[in-house]
Amino acid sequence: MFFKMITDTKLAQNAFLIGCQRTGEALIIDPERDVDTYHKAAAAEGLKLVAAAETHIHADFASGMRELASQGVKVYVSDEGDANWKYEWAKENTYDAVFVKDGDVFRVGNIEIKVIKTPGHTPEHVCFLVTDIGGGATEPMGMATGDYIFVGDVGRPDLLESAAGVVGAMDSSARVLYNTLQGFFEMPDYLKIWPGHGAGSACGKALGAIPDTTVGYEKRYNTSVSFAAKSEQEFVDFILDGQPEPPLYFARMKKMNKEGWNILGQMPAPKAFSVPDLKAFLTDPENVMIDTRFDRDAFAASHASGAIYAPFNKTFNTVAGSLVEAGQKMALLIAENHVDEAVRDLVRVGLDDVVGYVTPEVWGQYVDELQPTENIERIKFNQLPATLDKTNAFILDVRYSSEFAEGHLPDAHNLAYTRLIPRLSELPLDRTIAVHCKSGARAASAVSYLKRRGYEVIYIDDAVENGLQLTHDAVPA
């Protein structure tokens, strides 16, 4: 049996390529939408991708299941849960799609895959037990757990409500997860766990960075699992407390992974913009420049009108997915050698309309020609008192609510940077908005969006500790 974990490090998402070397066939579990990645990985091992399986309707990335189905790959999708959470696209008779339930078994070559239902994170969630029949095994080697069990955590049960808007779902989902976890204690300790996510994912609150684990280890050291050994209410209270606000794009991922994404066929190929191309692009205010420069000082000093600041680091998908709306035409300010990776990152959160890119060299030419640019006023926390006296600014803290609860400035309003779009009405249009976060990084992106929407903004580019030390009436945890 061949096994390879393929990780998207920005989204902390794991897909699993499992192949039978005797027959040359391979299966991919939980693929992202840019499926050429998996075909290439299989081909490199002399395998052909013939099947794909998915643990649940994902919220944190665009699934590649329909893309693979359109290419003739046989797909296995969950038929668990209620009628509200079924794979609508897989019902089309043009696809070789199999709806699976608890206890179902299928094979890829000499590898056996058994389905077990594991609801709680979502109603339709399943896991896949993998047994190497061709190698003589009669028991499973491991389990692809999706968002059921992680290293050090379990899948958060609040997303149906907090991301997809199903009112009242989080408490009942947490109770379902509690009951599901009782079965985890009955599993053999040796069984390997191949989790769908690692550290950095928004699908839990304490995911570990180790790539895999075992059932026995998680029984001993996984705090969330240990709470499942206590009373149901203790578990519910623990698992729902302190979950970070989900990025805005999660709701759209749930919807489109259920209904089906448009078929890509091939990855978008944006045009290399010249200065005239950039000028033409910026004439339409609906178009958006995504400025990926690492240097936020440079962005604050000079950027394109209406640009969104999304530095090309591990937060790139989250920022773009939260602050760029679906259907907007995008151009990137980015180094040439990062274009393909950035386009792939955007496709993975459902942002396909990348029509062009500008290299730093072309941007420099644009600035040298004295074309229109914008800047953002920046201050440190020690300048905030004078700023408040002068402007009566509205203080906006764009950290997560769990961070805000640990201590914040008096009179600060909390609104996570990933949720600005749906909660914009909470911000006054007639006051300057002074924005801060923990270090200045998230605030830079938030400020860029607010400025694009017409707000007068001040960017507090400073560590929040400096602000808390300035005032005696800071609100403690």
Point out the residues that are catalytic.
437
* Selection from 11, 47, 20, 17 nearest residue 31 by Cα: 17
Helix (H, G, I), strand (E, B) or coil at 216: helix
List phi, psi (to 5°) of 262.
-60, 145
User: CA 55, CA 38: separation in Å to the nearest integer?
Assistant: 17
User: CA 89, CA 342: separation in Å to the nearest integer?
Assistant: 27
User: CA 219, CA 237: separation in Å to the nearest integer?
Assistant: 20
- Contact criterion met (CB below 8 Å) for 273 and 331: yes
Tell the residue number behind the tokens 């640990």, with chain if given.
406
Q: In sequence order, what E strands does 206-353 have? A: 213-214, 271-272, 288-291, 308-309, 330-333
Counting beta carbons within 10 angstroms of the beta carbon of residue 186, is it exposed (0 to 12), middle (13 to 18) or buried (19 or more)?
exposed
- Alpha-carbon distance values, 246 to 68, 101, 121, 332, 343 (Å): 27, 29, 14, 25, 22
User: What does the block give as tokens for 231?
Assistant: 């009373």
How many residues would you count in the chain?
477
- Contact criterion met (CB below 8 Å) for 345 and 62: no
